[in-house]
Amino acid sequence: MNQQEFIDKYKRRFSIYHSSQDEDIGEQLEESYDDIKSLIGEFDPNKYKKGTALVFERTRYLRNESLEYFYGNFQTAIMDASIDLVGEKNDAD
């Protein structure tokens, strides 16, 4: 998710109006995407908005040096997303 499209979406969502941290945001989005994929499974961030939202929220917690709170605060959303994706996978089979 280290593409300008996602960086711009993240910045809009969290009202960031400068580009001085775009490189850092991109790297943090990629790190968060990899982590969320390991928790809920593979997903396309262009199509699965719940996964993208989790990536954005994890990145926000990471940027605010509060990552230890993310997992507890979003446990239900993580579980829901993983169930969604398992259901999609089973539907495709």
pLDDT band at 86 (very low <50, low <70, confident <90, very high): confident
Mean pLDDT (the chain, rounded): 94
3-state secondary structure of 14: coil
Q: What is the pLDDT of residue 1?
A: 93
Q: Whole-structure pTM over 0.85, yes or no?
A: yes
Q: What is the pLDDT of residue 87?
A: 77
Count Cβ atoms below 10 Å from residue 58 Cβ, excluding itself.
23
Query: pLDDT at residue 58 above 60?
Result: yes
Q: How many structural domains compose the chain?
A: 1
Q: What's the domain range around 39?
A: 4-92
pLDDT band at 59 (very low <50, low <70, confident <90, very high): very high
> Mean per-residue pLDDT for 48-61?
98
